[in-house]
Structure 1
Amino acid sequence: MRVLNYLELADRLERSGIGTATMHQRKALADTEVDLLTSPWNGGTLPDAALRRAVGDPFFEAYDVAHCNVIGPGSVAVARHAKRNDVPLVLHSHVTAEDFGESFRFSSEVAPVLEPYLRWFYSQADLVLCPSEYTKSNLESYPVDAPIRPVSNGVDAGRLEGHEELREAYRDRYDLDGMVVFAVGNVFERKGLTRFCELAQETDHAFAWFGHYDEGPQASPTVRKWTQNPPENVTFTGWVDDIRGGFGAGDVYLFPTKDENQGIAVLEAMACGKAVVLSDLPVFREYYTDGEDCLLCSTHEEYREALERLAADPDLRERLGENARETAAKHSLDRLGEELVTAYEDVVAGDPVA
């Protein structure tokens, strides 16, 4: 089976959660019998495809299933081509109106307008894949008129091997000591930036956020406020070439996000055996158990108390971390590959109902 796994704007999304999720898909599929294609354009690029079309060759490559991970014009073109030519179409819902807000400047204003577009776009699919039952419920509320199937984004535990060996180097680089409370990923207000910084102001622990933050006109005022004038015990590292260093340097992964479709960095922290403190959201209740492999918090006081408990009880940190590692193992790339292949086989057979 030849499958197109398409990531529009791949160079711009390389550092995003969507880029990581797509990388996981492709790595998972590499160990299957799927013949993987990453560009829909005949010749590999749009200019090449246009030249070939001018001499009578097809504009699009040939494939048995089209799987798109983004919602832009290139993906719309692939979707329309698939529908015109009876090619089974899988659309992956990494973007919802709920998780679009508070991500960058004006994103909250755009989010309500985005929902009708997403409803139209995803409804073209023979099958919509999404990271969680929570995301599925959001899509159904729009409503999206297509079968919807949750599939974990997975975690690439192998990519994180050796993080412990980078601990001292990264702690020295960013002047971190003691119990380090940390986050990993792009810096957005939706991911709990303000709460992260306000909690830091109330403790003596070192806080570090390993990840890119916008500084240009697209940066939200909140991101600009905290990154330009952070609390004394908060470090914003910016882009880190080897993210293993962040997971090595940190002790407690704090993620007070307001909305999430799954949260790949959470799974990465768990795969590294870190204690994690998360927002008490349906998506995390779906995958994790409070007090067993994480601590779930709803209020500012609960977050502060959770950090105090973990600081006072290293054994609790270790127990939560070991259980978290076992939880992350359930989201392996091997399992992701199996679920993707099943999805492709189902749409080819005309039986995509989850």
Structure 2
Amino acid sequence: MRVLNHLELESQMHRSGMGTAADQQREALSRAAPEIDVVTSPWTDGSMPDALFASWAYGDDPLVDYDIAHLNMAGPVSLGLARRAKAQDIPLILHTHVTKEDFRDSFRFSNVVAPALGVYLKHFYSQADLVLCPSEYTKGVLESYPVDAPIKPISNGIDLEPLEGYESFREATRAEYDLDGMVVFAVGNVFERKGLTTFCELAQATDYDFTWFGTYEEGPAASKTVRRWVQDPPENVTFTGWVDDKRMAYGAGDVFCFPAKVENQGLVVLEAMACEKACVLRDIPVFREYFEDGHDCLICEDFAEFEDALARLEADPELRERLGKNARQTAESHGLDEIGAELADTYRDLIAGH
């Protein structure tokens, strides 16, 4: 079996959760089902320009052959590949990493664009023979559009190996960013949807060092909220920008604070859990689906509960340790071996029923 597992704009998406998810799908398949031949580019010469030139100059087919198309983006190239798959009766899987709900509060004008995006996504995903998504929550969102295709939740999983050795980064990273005491931290792109305002207001209300490890937009695409906080942060907040190794964040930080408003799963939460960090999360459906308040995290409904959770974790190192150890077990239950086996079975079932 040959599977096209494709992420449009992959070179630009490597710093995003979508890029991580696609990488983990491929790694999971290589571990659990090495007999499946996975190709990541649809182009015979590796790139669209080279393939189209060869087609024009020599009459070559610009596209490789494959038995299943598994597409991770909803862009124009993916739309063309989806239509080709339908025309040639190739089983088509469309993977949901973006909904109109989680597009809001991301970039400038994203809230204006979100309704039109929802209309497009409804039609795009409805082409699929199967839609994959990371959670039951996301499945419910797609059903509300409604998407006219079968929908199956599969966890994005977590690759534990690249996080090994995070402890060795602690001292150097804390020294680099002048961090001390119990460091409250977040990881990922700096968006209001990720809880930026809550994160900064918590910093203003407390004395802990807060650090957000991740890129932020400063150009025309930046939202007013991101510009406001990044350009004039509270005294105890550091925005690091891109860091070369994410283990720097998980080594330096003590409490992972992620007051995201909307998530389809939250890969960075699983990464923090894999590093045995106590996690403080907003009470949203997907976190209730995957995590348990008081067992592997603390889930907070409002600002006062976030403040209280941080105070409890500072006062009780044993609570931090217990939550972190349980969190590690949760992360291990999302390991890539299990995810790869589930993906491989999904491919086989789709071909058998096509």
TM above 0.5, yes or no, is yes
What is the CA-CA distance between 1:107 and the residue it aligns to? 0.7
- Distance in structure 2 (CA, Å) of the matches to 1:61 and 1:77: 14
- Distance in structure 2 (CA, Å) of the matches to 1:307 and 1:150: 32
Q: 1:169 aligns with which of 172, 182, 197?
A: 172
Where does residue 27 of structure 1 map in the other structure?
Answer: 27
**Mapping 1:1-354, distance limit 5 Å:** 1-31=1-31, 32=33, 33-54=35-56, 55-350=58-353
What is the CA-CA distance between 1:339 and the residue it aligns to? 1.1
> Secondary structure of 2:66's match?
coil
Give 1:286's aligned amino acid: E
Alignment root-mean-square deviation, CA: 0.8
Give 1:322's aligned amino acid: K
What TM-score do the two structures reach when normalised by structure 2?
0.98
- Distance in structure 1 (CA, Å) of the matches to 2:50 and 2:272: 41
- Distance in structure 2 (CA, Å) of the matches to 1:111 and 1:342: 34
What TM-score do the two structures reach when normalised by structure 1?
0.98
- Distance in structure 2 (CA, Å) of the matches to 1:101 and 1:231: 25
Once the two structures are superposed, what CA deviation does each residue of 1:37-88 show, in whole Å capped at 9, x if it has no partner? 0101121111122123223222211000000000001101110110011110
- Distance in structure 2 (CA, Å) of the matches to 1:348 and 1:105: 42
What is the CA-CA distance between 1:11 and the residue it aligns to? 1.1
- Distance in structure 1 (CA, Å) of the matches to 2:254 and 2:341: 33
- Distance in structure 1 (CA, Å) of the matches to 2:30 and 2:80: 26
> Secondary structure of 1:253's match?
strand
- Distance in structure 2 (CA, Å) of the matches to 1:346 and 1:147: 13
- Distance in structure 2 (CA, Å) of the matches to 1:88 and 1:51: 28
> Secondary structure of 1:235's match?
strand
> Secondary structure of 2:194's match?
coil
What is the CA-CA distance between 1:113 and the residue it aligns to? 1.0
Once the two structures are superposed, what CA deviation does each residue of 1:252-273 show, in whole Å capped at 9, x if it has no partner? 0000000000010000000000
- Distance in structure 2 (CA, Å) of the matches to 1:234 and 1:69: 34
Once the two structures are superposed, what CA deviation does each residue of 1:109-160 show, in whole Å capped at 9, x if it has no partner? 1111111100000000010000000000000000001110001111111100
- Distance in structure 2 (CA, Å) of the matches to 1:47 and 1:231: 47
- Distance in structure 1 (CA, Å) of the matches to 2:83 and 2:350: 17
- Distance in structure 1 (CA, Å) of the matches to 2:353 and 2:99: 26
- In terms of mean alpha carbon deviation, does 23-32 or 124-133 score higher? 23-32
Give 1:41's aligned amino acid: W
- Distance in structure 2 (CA, Å) of the matches to 1:16 and 1:108: 20
Once the two structures are superposed, what CA deviation does each residue of 1:220-259 show, in whole Å capped at 9, x if it has no partner? 1100100111000000000000110100000000000000
Once the two structures are superposed, what CA deviation does each residue of 1:4-32 show, in whole Å capped at 9, x if it has no partner? 00010011111011001011111111222
- Distance in structure 2 (CA, Å) of the matches to 1:222 and 1:239: 19
> Secondary structure of 2:192's match?
coil
Give 2:145's aligned amino acid: Y
> Secondary structure of 1:30's match?
helix
What is the CA-CA distance between 1:347 and the residue it aligns to? 1.2
What is the CA-CA distance between 1:334 and the residue it aligns to? 0.7
> Secondary structure of 1:190's match?
helix
What is the CA-CA distance between 1:343 and the residue it aligns to? 1.2
Identity of aligned residues (%): 64
Give 2:46's aligned amino acid: G
Runs of 5+ in structure 1 lacking a partner? none
Give 1:114's aligned amino acid: L
Once the two structures are superposed, what CA deviation does each residue of 1:170-205 show, in whole Å capped at 9, x if it has no partner? 000000010000000000000000000000001110
> Secondary structure of 2:5's match?
strand
